[in-house]
Amino acid sequence: MRATCLAVLALQAASAVLGSPVPQDQEDGSSLVVTSDPAVDLEQLQTLAAEALQKAQEGVSEDEAARKKRGDTSVDKRSDPPCTLLNLKIRREWGALSKAERTSYINAVKCLQSKPAKTPAQLAPGAKTRFDDFVATHINQTLEIHYTGNFLSWHRYYVWIYEQALQQECGYKGTQPYWDWAKTAVTGLESSPIFDGSATSMSGNGAKIDNQPDIVLGASTGLPPVYLPAGTGGGCVTSGPFKDMSVNLGPVALDLPGGTSAGNPAGALAYNPRCLKRDLTTKINQKYANATAILSNILNPKTVEAFQMQMQGIPGSGNIGIHGGGHYSLGGDPGRDVFTSPGDPAFYLLHGMIDRTWWMWQSLSPITRQFTSSAISGTNTFMNSPASPNTTLTDFIDLGFSGGPNRQIKDVLSTVSGPFCYVYI
């Protein structure tokens, strides 16, 4: 059944890119057997997703070979190499990596932090390193990449270009790992392999600051604010590979109590070297980004609009979504700052998980959710403020000095076509 559906997908993928109308696909999530354990269901979904997309890709390749045989070159317009099982890359959860693999990832991140920036100093005086190029790009575009039509696709391409930089500029042989919040909600952040502060972690908590007030989110918007508990750290990170790293850019909006933003008065892109701060808050992880929350975000939304809103938290709903749950459970500076958050190297593991969640959701209805105009929804500005045009499949993603080339959104909607060839395990 599934194979037939996927062969159809192959044909439709090609026609979607060429602009012809695409017939409806079938929901492909029917093979999921929902159990009483959301963690088990998520594992199952992941396996189904990898399977569905791999088979789809085989279909695409077979189809291409057949067309070539007939002398039909109409699909050869795409410049990217086909994604096959031979070049498929696997992204894995941090805890599933060996210690040697974790160390090589950490070393590559440190390598990016030691190479000079490509961003011209007059554009972003605070961008000192290649790592900072990514932070500067994100700060510069924050209001056009969150609560927008490109939120998911922009961050997918951004994390991939970061992964490419680690590989091509710093000799990293592995892939971008991810932080599975379902796991850390159970173990607690402080004792997880990502944040336990060991030499093979992404560094641990910040130094403990006593009596930190609750965080109040959205106090200035007129909507009911969300109160988040303070965590178990709050100060400078004291352990692990990144304890001496310098955070060079921002902050822009730390959402301090009372609705004050605490941005750097010298400017968002000014040079402002300081320690990396964290405030690990397992309670936030448990409340907003547990296995049930992730599963519900994958199974319930039927449109991408609903999917991305549930993920980012519907303002005024009191729920910050799994995206917010991940970010605020890390906390600190720049972790808690929507603009500057990629300045904490754990950001890329967090957004690996965002991408993985989207990928699982897409695999449940692969045609509609990867290859049609229903794959995206939203406008080009944060909550459409100020009002802006709807995002379209042919809009470009421009990652500035982080890397490129600029890519149209339609080319980054599938992890197994266009420039990409990866799945999650």
Ligand X SMILES: *[C@@H]1O[C@H](CO)[C@@H](O)[C@H](O)[C@H]1NC(C)=O
CB of 300 to ligand X, least distance (A): 11
Residue type, 396: F
Closer residue to ligand X in complex, CB, 334/400: 400
Closer residue to ligand X in complex, CB, 98/390: 390
CB of 123 to ligand X, least distance (A): 4
Q: What whole-number distance in Å separates Cα of residue 232 and Cα of residue 115?
A: 33
Two structure tokens written together for 419: 């420039």
Residue type, 320: I
Closer residue to ligand X in complex, CB, 56/322: 322
**CB of 272 closer than 8 Å to CB of 264:** yes
**CB of 218 closer than 8 Å to CB of 315:** yes
CB of 205 to ligand X, least distance (A): 21
CB of 317 to ligand X, least distance (A): 11
Q: Give every CB contact of residue 51 below 8 A, 6+ residues apart in sequence.
A: none
**CB of 134 closer than 8 Å to CB of 162:** yes
Closer residue to ligand X in complex, CB, 168/317: 317
Q: What whole-number distance in Å separates Cα of residue 281 and Cα of residue 283?
A: 5
Are β-strands 422-424 and 89-91 bridged in parallel, bridged antiparallel, or unpaired?
parallel
CB of 416 to ligand X, least distance (A): 27
CB of 189 to ligand X, least distance (A): 14
Two structure tokens written together for 4: 């037939």
Nearest to 312 by CA among 145, 135, 93: 145
- From the CA atom positions of the chain, what is the Rg in Å? 21
Closer residue to ligand X in complex, CB, 44/292: 292
Are β-strands 396-397 and 407-408 bridged in parallel, bridged antiparallel, or unpaired?
antiparallel
CB of 359 to ligand X, least distance (A): 21
> Residue 261 to residues 157, 251, 253, 337: CA-CA distances in angstroms?
28, 9, 4, 9
CB of 53 to ligand X, least distance (A): 26
> Where on the phi/psi map is residue 3: left (φ > 0), alpha (ψ -120 to 50), or beta?
alpha
Closer residue to ligand X in complex, CB, 123/266: 123
Query: Residue numbers of the site for ligand X (CB under 6 A)?
Result: 119, 123-124, 136-137, 140, 286-288, 290, 292-293, 377, 390, 400-401
Closer residue to ligand X in complex, CB, 246/292: 292
Q: What whole-number distance in Å separates Cα of residue 158 and Cα of residue 347?
A: 11
**CB of 232 closer than 8 Å to CB of 279:** yes
Closer residue to ligand X in complex, CB, 185/275: 185
